[in-house]
């Protein structure tokens, strides 16, 4: 009971001033809105601002229809490239993707044989998914127009030209709800990675960053202030031993971070249109373990810092760095492969990857258990080190 009493007393002192609500709710919300609007993919130039590389070796009615479908989208414009150049542009992320329509595409369709279109998506842009959807829609329209024209040809007009009839049928298709399975050039089954934008990116990112700030500024710094004022030393004169006092302060930091994180999750769910609830249990466990790891960061800083000012300065620097590395400001998938590897060394990355999988990709607890395990491990190591090194006198 002494541990809980110390923890709750710390929380009461934290919210004694009304201005604490500004830091706790209003400021994170403002940053979430600004970052979300900045990373939103909803606006673009009317003439197209994102290039798509194309190699059309068939140059037929069907291949041109697919290309025109991409050109008609306001986000894209076409760059005709040779195969080697198109692949290079994709590798260097200078285009959203590279489409290769091989020679014989139209003849294969006419002969009712299997035909392939090869699509290389860029690895670090949001746009490849939309390109794939455009290709899927245009192929669906082609398939349906060809099927309709084939039936009409057999039943009503056996002497008509098949291609002319297909072109006339094609003009009548605006939307065909048919899913298309792509054959990708470099692997048997293509897997398009959904990248978070807008509030889906900023809501978990800012929640994590401000939870870290709350833990460090209102947790670790408070411990050192109590140490400087002699409050912790006076507590040693009470029946509470050293470990009870440290445990009470650790629980206080954890509860403070948990309140911050849960508040941001609720705001994101109710007011920002972010679906945090694809798997409630996965979201909660990921939240509990991330705050556990964040508490470890706070305890470690409290243990190695000489005073409250030092923990504030050093803590701010560390929070900014691990927030950037962890994907709080931009999607981790937009980073280079080397930076993505480095990001795995910080707990923020494991938290944001897990939240992204739940929010954007609809994954469940079975898909994010590794993130939960790693965050728990971070928490035990950092809290253990912090408690071992922390001195109350």
CATH among 3.40.50, 1.10.287, 3.40.30, 3.40.1710 for 50-170: 3.40.1710
| Sign of the alpha-carbon torsion through 27, 29, 32, 33 | negative
Nearest 5°: the CA angle 67, 73, 77 is: 60
Distance CA 137, CA 328 (A): 34
Q: Average the pLDDT over 211-218 and give the result.
A: 83
Supply the pLDDT for residue 294: 92
In whole angstroms, give the CA distance from residue 278 to residue 357: 10
DSSP category for residue 25: I
Helix (H) / strand (E) containing 61: helix 61-71
CB-based burial, 215-226: b 16+ in 10 Å, e otherwise: bbbbbbbbbbeb
Q: Is the pLDDT of residue 125 over 70?
A: no
Q: How does residue 136 score in pLDDT terms, banded at 50, 70 and 90?
A: confident
Domain residue spans in the chain? 2-39+197-389, 50-170
Parallel, antiparallel, or unpaired: how do β-strands 50-56 and 76-80 relate?
Answer: parallel
Does residue 227 contact residue 308 with C-beta atoms inside 8 Å? no
Contact 77, 96 (CB under 8 A): no
pLDDT at residue number 176 = 39
Residue 338 Cα distances to 251, 297, 345, angstroms: 36, 24, 12
Range 127-156 average pLDDT: 67
Report how far residue 301's alpha carbon sits from residue 297's, in angstroms, rounded to the nearest whole number.
Answer: 6
Check whether 348 has a pLDDT greater than 80.
yes
Strand partners for 79: 53
Q: Is the pLDDT of residue 117 over 90?
A: no
């Amino acid at each position: 009971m002494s541990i809980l009493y110390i923890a709750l007393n710390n929380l009461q002192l934290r919210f004694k001033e009304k201005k604490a609500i500004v830091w706790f709710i209003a400021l994170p919300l403002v940053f979430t809105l600004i970052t979300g609007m900045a990373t939103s993919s909803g606006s673009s130039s009317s003439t197209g601002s994102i290039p798509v590389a194309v190699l059309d070796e068939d140059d037929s009615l069907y291949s041109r229809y697919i290309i025109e479908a991409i050109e008609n989208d306001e986000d894209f414009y076409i760059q005709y490239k040779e195969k080697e150049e198109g692949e290079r542009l994709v590798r260097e992320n200078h285009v959203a993707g590279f489409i290769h329509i091989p020679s014989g595409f139209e003849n294969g369709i006419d002969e009712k044989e299997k035909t392939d279109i090869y699509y290389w998506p860029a690895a670090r842009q949001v746009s490849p998914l939309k390109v794939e959807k455009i290709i899927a829609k245009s192929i669906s329209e082609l398939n349906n127009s060809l099927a309709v024209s084939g039936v009409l040809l057999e039943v009503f007009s056996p002497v008509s030209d098949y291609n002319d009839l297909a072109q006339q049928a094609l003009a009548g298709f605006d939307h065909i709800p048919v899913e298309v399975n792509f054959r990708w050039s470099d692997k048997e089954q293509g897997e398009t990675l959904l990248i978070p934008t807008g509030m889906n990116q900023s809501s978990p990112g800012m929640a994590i960053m401000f939870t870290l700030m709350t833990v460090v500024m209102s947790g670790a710094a408070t411990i050192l202030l109590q140490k400087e004022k002699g409050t912790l030393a006076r507590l040693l004169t009470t029946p509470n031993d050293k470990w009870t006092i440290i445990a009470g302060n650790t629980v206080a930091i954890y509860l403070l971070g948990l309140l911050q994180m849960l508040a941001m999750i609720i705001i994101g769910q109710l007011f920002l249109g972010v679906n945090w609830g694809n798997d409630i249990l996965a979201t909660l466990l990921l939240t509990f373990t991330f705050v556990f790891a964040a508490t470890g960061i706070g305890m470690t800083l409290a243990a190695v810092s000489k005073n409250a000012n030092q923990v504030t300065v050093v803590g701010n620097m560390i929070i900014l760095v691990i927030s950037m590395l962890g994907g709080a400001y931009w999607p981790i998938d937009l980073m280079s492969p080397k930076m993505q590897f480095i990001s795995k060394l910080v707990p923020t990355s494991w938290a944001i990857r897990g939240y992204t999988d739940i929010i954007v990709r609809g994954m469940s607890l079975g898909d994010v258990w590794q993130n939960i395990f790693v965050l728990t491990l971070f928490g035990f190591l950092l809290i253990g080190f912090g408690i071992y090194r922390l001195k109350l006198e």
